Structure 1
Amino acid sequence: MSSSLNPEIDGHTYKRQKTDDINSSDPKVARRAKFEAVFDVIAEELLSYVKGEGMPKDAVEWYEKVLYHNTPGGKLNRGMSVVDTVEILKGRQLEEEEYKNAAILGWCVELLQAYFLVADDIMDQSVTRRGQPCWYKMPNVGNIAINDAFMLEAAIYHLLKKHFRQEKYYVDLIELFLETTFQTELGQLVDLITAPEDHVDLSKFSLEKHHLIVVYKTAYYSFYLPVALAMHMSGVEAKSAYDLALSILIPLGEYFQVQDDYLDCYGKPEHIGKIGTDILDNKCSWNVNTALKYATEEQRKILDENYGQKDSEKEAKIKALFSQEPISIPQRFEAYEKESYEKINGLIETVDEEGTGLKKEVFRSFLAKVYKRSK
């Protein structure tokens, strides 16, 4: 270990003892452990590549830390959804090689997520992520995290080339990741210019603007991407099938992000793995946009004077205001959640399983994962 690196961020500390978990009698524990075991395989492949390029020992060790600190944590819903969706579409358990390929695609989604989060935390000056310090906040990291984010993204295309270059859908995978990345970055751009932390202007906010941000910043990569990857791997080729999947998954992704906004204010930090900072950070969240829509003149004045300020007392005033009539965020969220659930179920019922090669269960399983979640 190089003396310039802090042992607290040693990648080895993030490797899990998975043998017992894979054989666990709890299906959820065994399922996650099996998926995580594939990460160790691809991490070794990536580290072997770095070594093969003649990089010094401390660079290899650093990249290992980057991979293990930022990728395997979290709920892994995006990545494991690729595996789940392939299984549903094929209608059977996957053979060993099929599982490995589906899991690699899933980990590519998780690497994309890691890339976004490392960069996003720097832009937002966040403190915690997934119950631990943000990567740039770790000892001796700082702005090196910017390059680390790029290296997390680059890993995706190395893995796709290594494992899928021979497949007829290889170019489709490349294009899907590139397009989804661009869409997500467009959403991030609109978010950043609408709600810069150092200039609060609530007149720029609206529920319509919030819709645009969350569709591009979250829904494409969190919901459409995993399903579209599984569809390619399962031999679904018709453009109409991808259009149909998109029409269901984008509203589902919007619902997920509204939940996320709500939980930032009302969720417990030990459940969501971070301290909510949307109010302090001047975020264009569903909560504040709903408050703006229903606020009285006096309440609007309180919003303008206190929202987006780096002041815990002002944050407390906004939180108190959110629960007041006629704003009533908790009640309005409950109604929104019920309406969204019914709307998405209605869209799922339109799926023609025979004509598209899709299955309703793909979308039902996604909805089940996020409905009424608390983290």
Structure 2
Amino acid sequence: MHRLCIKRYRNTLIPLREAWYSKTSSTFGNDEKTRNLVYKDALEMLRSHFEFAVRDSVPRKNAELYEAVKHFDDLCYHVGPKRLVYTSDILMISYKSLEQPKNLTVDNLRRAAMLSWAFENATTGFFLADDITDSNTVRWNMPCWHTLPHIGLRALVDLRLLTMGSSQIIRKHLKDLPTYIHLQTLFNQFLYVTFLGQSSDLYSSSLFKNYRDDSSLSMSHYRALTKMKVGFPLYVAPPLAAIYLANLDPEIYTRSKHIFDNLAIHRQAQVSILVRTFYTRVLVL
């Protein structure tokens, strides 16, 4: 039944020009033309692997879990992939830029795509949590997941499954890599820091709203919050994950950290302006 469900979504979500990625195998890894095409269209390959990320997030052979898995599929296809994505794009582009051209095989790019979706799906879980706590009703020009009549606060359970399913993707597709432990550790830190940032943001907002305590509006607090809610999920975790995936020295990132910190501040300022002006329907981190 779930295969039929996946096939139905595949027909609607993957353009015909991307369909060849779904049929690639390790035997194509030595084909120079195929490798060059994959290198050029890495982001399209990323989009085409969304359905496989959904498939591998939860167990599908247990008939007793059918309804839960079907509900999970509905969630995934409601919140993606036809929307703006950030974490996965940055990770995929970083990997393509860092990896040696000879190692940009179909198999390696497929691993990069699955790792990218693991981080992106976890980021989607952060969005679901934000929508609930902020009482948002629209996300990506669609009704927020928790506002659907049959969902409500069940979304709290859904976002946990989405997050843990991402860890399952990493375990399934990257457990044989020498840097697997580093990737899982980074992913756990990614979750911890971002959820901590969300908690701090919620507390600060309540503090100012209820007591007009302007200490939460200081620049030092703003910078700390930006590093947790924007900096780590966009400009720390994705580049570091790409570095580990390419089996490179993390010192590469350390030398550029000040640049990524400034990018995070710029991104948060950009988002604040957009949300407060005309672009309120497309909410981001």
Pick from 210, 223, 229: which aligns with 1:211?
A: 223
Which residue type is aligned with residue 247 of structure 1? H
Would you say the 8 A contact 1:80–1:103 is kept in 2? no
TM-score of the two chains, using structure 2 as the length reference: 0.81
TM-score of the two chains, using structure 1 as the length reference: 0.63
Tell me the distance in 2 between the aligned counterparts of 1:149 and 1:98.
Answer: 28
Which residue type is aligned with residue 265 of structure 1? R
Corresponding position: 1:222 with 2:205 = no
SS of equivalent to 1:126: coil
Corresponding position: 1:132 with 2:129 = no
Pick from 132, 156, 163: which aligns with 1:122?
A: 132
Would you say the 8 A contact 2:90–2:234 is kept in 1? no
Which residue type is aligned with residue 213 of structure 1? L
Tell me the distance in 1 between the aligned counterparts of 2:248 and 2:120.
Answer: 23
Which residue number in structure 1 is paired with residue 261 of structure 2?
250
SS of equivalent to 2:64: coil
Tell me the distance in 2 between the aligned counterparts of 1:81 and 1:14.
Answer: 26
Question: Cα–Cα, structure 1 residues 82 and 203, in superposed 2: closer, same or farther, change >3 Å?
Answer: closer
Q: Which has the higher helix share?
A: 2
Question: Cα–Cα, structure 1 residues 83 and 256, in superposed 2: closer, same or farther, change >3 Å?
Answer: same
Which residue number in structure 1 is paired with residue 15 of structure 2?
18
- Report the CA distance between 1:185 and its aligned residue: 1.8
Would you say the 8 A contact 1:218–1:253 is kept in 2? yes
Tell me the distance in 2 between the aligned counterparts of 1:71 and 1:111.
Answer: 9
Which residue number in structure 1 is paired with residue 28 of structure 2?
none
Which residue number in structure 1 is paired with residue 244 of structure 2?
232
Question: Cα–Cα, structure 1 residues 142 and 13, in superposed 2: closer, same or farther, change >3 Å?
Answer: farther
Would you say the 8 A contact 1:22–1:34 is kept in 2? no
RMSD of aligned Cα (Å): 2.7
Would you say the 8 A contact 2:193–2:228 is kept in 1? yes
Tell me the distance in 2 between the aligned counterparts of 1:264 and 1:14.
Answer: 34
Question: Cα–Cα, structure 1 residues 73 and 254, in superposed 2: closer, same or farther, change >3 Å?
Answer: farther
SS of equivalent to 1:60: helix
Pick from 168, 171, 175: which aligns with 1:161?
A: 171
Which residue number in structure 1 is paired with residue 83 of structure 2?
74
- Report the CA distance between 1:161 and its aligned residue: 0.9
Correspondence 1:1-375 to 2 at 5 A? 12=9, 15-20=12-17, 32-47=43-58, 49=59, 51-92=60-101, 94-196=104-206, 199=210, 201-204=212-215, 205-237=217-249, 239-269=250-280, 273-274=282-283
Identity of aligned residues (%): 20
Which residue number in structure 2 is paired with residue 280 of structure 1?
none
- Report the CA distance between 1:215 and its aligned residue: 1.0
Which residue type is aligned with residue 127 of structure 1? T
Would you say the 8 A contact 1:86–1:234 is kept in 2? yes
Structure 1 gap segments, 5+ residues each: 2-10, 277-375
Tell me the distance in 1 between the aligned counterparts of 2:272 and 2:221.
Answer: 14
More off after superposition, 257-266 vs 191-200:
191-200
Structure 2 gap segments, 5+ residues each: 2-7, 21-37
Total equivalences in the alignment: 257
- Report the CA distance between 1:91 and its aligned residue: 4.5
Tell me the distance in 2 between the aligned counterparts of 1:13 and 1:195.
Answer: 41
Residues 31-76 of structure 1: CA deviation (Å, up to 9, x unaligned): 54422211112222335x1x32443432221010112222424322
Of structures 1 and 2, the one with the larger relative CO (CA 8 A, separation 6+) is: 2
Would you say the 8 A contact 1:220–1:250 is kept in 2? no
- Report the CA distance between 1:267 and its aligned residue: 3.4
Residues 148-191 of structure 1: CA deviation (Å, up to 9, x unaligned): 00001001111111111111101100110111211112212221
Question: Cα–Cα, structure 1 residues 21 and 240, in superposed 2: closer, same or farther, change >3 Å?
Answer: closer
Greater Rg, structure 1 or structure 2?
1
Would you say the 8 A contact 1:228–1:242 is kept in 2? yes
Tell me the distance in 2 between the aligned counterparts of 1:235 and 1:242.
Answer: 13
Question: Cα–Cα, structure 1 residues 241 and 109, in superposed 2: closer, same or farther, change >3 Å?
Answer: same
Which residue type is aligned with residue 169 of structure 2? L
